Homo-oligomer: A and B are copies of this chain.
Amino acid sequence: MPAIKNKDSFSRKPPTWCPGCGLYGILEAMKRAAVSLQLDPASMVIVTGIGCHGRFPNYFLSYGFHGLHGRVVPVASGIKLVNPELKVIGLSGDGDAYSIGLNHLLHAARRNLSLLILVVNNRVFALTQGQASPTSPRGFISISTPQGKVEPPLDGLKLALGAGATFIARGFSGEVDHLAFLIERGLNHRGFALIDVLSPCVTYNKINTYDWYKKHIEILNQHKSMPEDLNQAWSWLNREDKFILGVLYSATRETLEEMILPDKRKTIAGLELRPEVEKVMALMEKFK
């Protein structure tokens, strides 16, 4: 019988993020969710991009893949497709997921492969020292926008909804319990799940602070049923005064792995490989 998991079961080493960084809240929420679902660290894989968020697997104990900037989703997809028994979590940044990596995100949403993608949306390129990101607010002053950012912020959730994601949610790293709830839901979702996590960067984003968010979020009360209404989700996402936090849309449709994998009982990763001489020879015969 496997030992009962507690939060320490998921600790690798102490984080070196700036004190106060929103990533601490996300780490905590992820641990709570993992404990609550009694996940086995060896059955989880966390794929991260490049950015402050990318260090996550250094601190959270599970299998980890720290890949390229913007390519969290394809790496995670490859893992999931060959081993759907793994819980595959992609942890990305607003730069990683919504600037360089946006294309992959939306195609994964369309495919409805069962991945949980968490975007640590600190609304800035932190690791590269503070440039504006697609989600930075208008007027945001940064080293790359000394006169203030001119374009309106991008909302990854709106795009994922349009692309056909079957689960979209928004959390806040200052609301750890709520976030843990969202992560649990996301982990249990059959299909593609995207959680955008508003997360303060205390070093490079002096606008979207914990205090600022407290004034600009509204948390849905939804411990019972999940909303499955595209129009409702769309209107929540178009609210200009507040960020609506919670599961904004959740639906079921056949997942990619259900549709394309040849064998429900065997993972590709678990196949025992043999030369299969006869089968290959039979195919070769066809060229006679």
Report which A residues bind B (CB closer than 8 A).
Answer: 99-103, 106-107, 110-112, 134, 150-152, 154-155, 158-159, 161-164, 230-231, 234-235, 237-238, 253-254, 256, 259-260
Partner of A103, one of B103, B155, B254, B260: B103
Given known contacts A231-B235, A238-B230, A164 and B152 CB-to-CB distance under 8 angstroms: yes
With A103-B102, A234-B234 in contact, is A112–B151 under 8 Å at CB? yes
List 7 A-B pairs, minimum CB-CB distance, nearest first: A158-B162, A103-B103, A150-B259, A162-B162, A159-B162, A102-B103, A234-B234
Could you pull out 8 A-B pairs where Cβ atoms are within 8 angstroms? A100-B103, A103-B103, A150-B260, A151-B259, A152-B164, A152-B253, A158-B162, A230-B234
Name the distance in Å between A193's Cβ and chain B's nearest Cβ: 16
> Residue on B with the closest CB to A238?
B230
How far is A112 from B138 in the complex, measured between Cα atoms in Å?
Answer: 14
Complex Cα distance, B203 from A6, in Å, reads 60
Given A102-B102, A106-B159, CB of A151 within 8 Å of CB of B231: no
User: Of all chain B residues, which has the CB nearest A154?
Assistant: B110
Q: Is the interface of A mostly helix, strand, loop or mixed?
A: helix
Contact A152 B231 (CB under 8 A): no
Most buried by B among A103, A253, A256, A260: A103
The listed residue (B102, B107, B259) touching A134 by CB distance below 8 A is B107
Across the interface, which residues of B come within 8 angstroms of A99, CB to CB? 107
Shortest CB distance A185–B (Å): 22
Query: Inside 8 A of A107's CB, which chain B residues have their CB?
Result: 99, 102, 134, 154
A154 touches B164 (CB 8 A): yes
- Of A106, A112, A155, A256, the most chain B CB neighbours within 10 A belong to A106
From B100, B102, B154, B231, give the contact of A234 (CB < 8 A).
B231
